[in-house]
Amino acid sequence: MNADQRAAQGRKLRDKVPRASHAGWAEPRNRRDPLEILLRSNEGRIPELVPIRFGRMSASPFAFYRGTAALMAADLATTPVSGLRVQACGDAHLMNFGGFATPERNVIFDVNDLDETLPAPFEWDLKRLAASVVIAAEHLMFPNSDTARVAADVVKEYRERMFDYAGMRALDIWYDKIDLRKYADRAGDPDVVADARKRLAERIETEQRKTVADHLYPKLVSEEGTLPRIKDDPPLIYHPNLEQAPGLESGYTDAIAGYRKSLPEHVQTLFDRFHFVDLAVKVVGVGSVGTMCSVCLFLAGDGDPLFLQVKEARASVLEPYAGKSRHPNHGQRVIAGQRLMQAASDVFLGWTQGMNGRHFYIRQLRDMKMSAVIEDWDVGTLRLYGRMCARALARAHARSGDPAAIAGYMGSGQSFEDAVGEFATEYSQQNRKDYRAFLKAIRSGRIEAIVET
């Protein structure tokens, strides 16, 4: 079947699920208590760290949104579904995109957090991204007219990029990437783009100077005593006890062996040059706080370190609504999704299982990873960044889904972007309402929150 025929199939889906049906958001009468969903998402987390998670979420409606992927998944499941599935991110908000180095040491922009990845309707990711742009714009106190325009811009960029992918050969889609050094925005203000490229070039140059041996190692490791040891900085970095990490007694030999087995043969050869030295729990992000995340130090010799980030992988928040993963290990689910969605992935990506039955995925720690800091942005910068995220999301979806069918469903006019833009604007109000209920629960003592200083 050629691209035109697949696009026609996508257009036909509008008869059953019109594009306008994606517009707006009204709280369902039987909507579950959002606080109940949040509290249930704490099951299995490290109890002492949960108040830190809630403290970070209490900072603003934008911070709250970052920690409520489970809540929005439940809400999205009540909205119309196009029937077009992709490998979805599951948590496609603005801060889960960014720059990082490829194995060839190029710096690309892509989705960079895929803890919740699972096959699901394409529009779920797009709606979460669009809503995050609206919430970010409100956080930055932009006028309502600018906020609506930025949201529509994001959906338009996704639609237009998907139309491009619909006409490309499969291998050309697979090889496509967003090179941060060469990024060009065809719809943006030339002055904003030029300024962004200059700042990106400076940021890349700074990150390239931060080598693991010269920057990360002295920052994280103490050499007092006979062996190097990761520095404790409780409650954010600390060495676990035997109850928290049963593999501690054996030096995590079984888990490391399982991880090694998950690596390609040529990477196993590289990994074998390193030996395990130390592991410490390291609190990261907003949504991940309380899960068993840690940093591991390996050495190939003096002055030759490797830091691996070990992140607990739990069932995706999409699973109750999109179906169970076909992978027996949720770490494997994350890695499979990452390799499907990203243009290039970390050479040390792998997965394993702990002695306590927890699933984990593993990657290098901070391999030139560059995340956005939105606090000083103007409207033009947010529009530019939102379009970058939309382009990356369209490319990721085109790799696993049918870009011609998705493009056919969305069409060439404004109907779809207007609908999703309206959803994003109205869902931002739901987020604000839920955030107020969350703060009330903290004040009443129903929820404990620790605000870091």
Is the pLDDT confidence value at 440 over 70?
yes
Is the pLDDT confidence value at 453 over 80?
no
Task: Give pLDDT tens digits for 153-188.
Answer: 999 999 999 999 999 999 999 999 988 777 766 666
> How much helix, strand and coil, in percent to the nearest 5, is found in the chain?
50, 15, 35
Cβ-contact 294, 310 below 8 angstroms: yes
Which residues make beta-bridge pairs with 107?
101
The Cα 399–Cα 171 span in angstroms is 9
18 pLDDT tier (thresholds 50, 70, 90): very high
208 pLDDT tier (thresholds 50, 70, 90): low
Rounding to the nearest 10 degrees, give the CA dihedral for residues 388, 88, 98, 358: 170
Task: Give pLDDT tens digits for 308-341.
Answer: 999 999 999 999 999 999 999 999 999 999 999 9
Question: 10 Å Cβ neighbour count for 94?
Answer: 25
pTM exceeds cut of 0.85: yes
The Cα 396–Cα 339 span in angstroms is 10
Cβ-contact 217, 305 below 8 angstroms: yes
Residue 342: left (phi > 0), alpha (psi -120 to 50), or beta?
beta
Domain residue limits, the chain: 3-183+377-444, 219-364
Q: E strands of 242-393, at which residues?
A: 275-282, 294-301, 304-312, 350-353, 359-364, 370-371
The Cα 312–Cα 331 span in angstroms is 7
Cis peptide before 235 (omega within 30 of 0): yes
- For 226, counting Cβ atoms within 10 Å of its Cβ (0-12 exposed, 13-18 middle, 19+ buried), the class is exposed
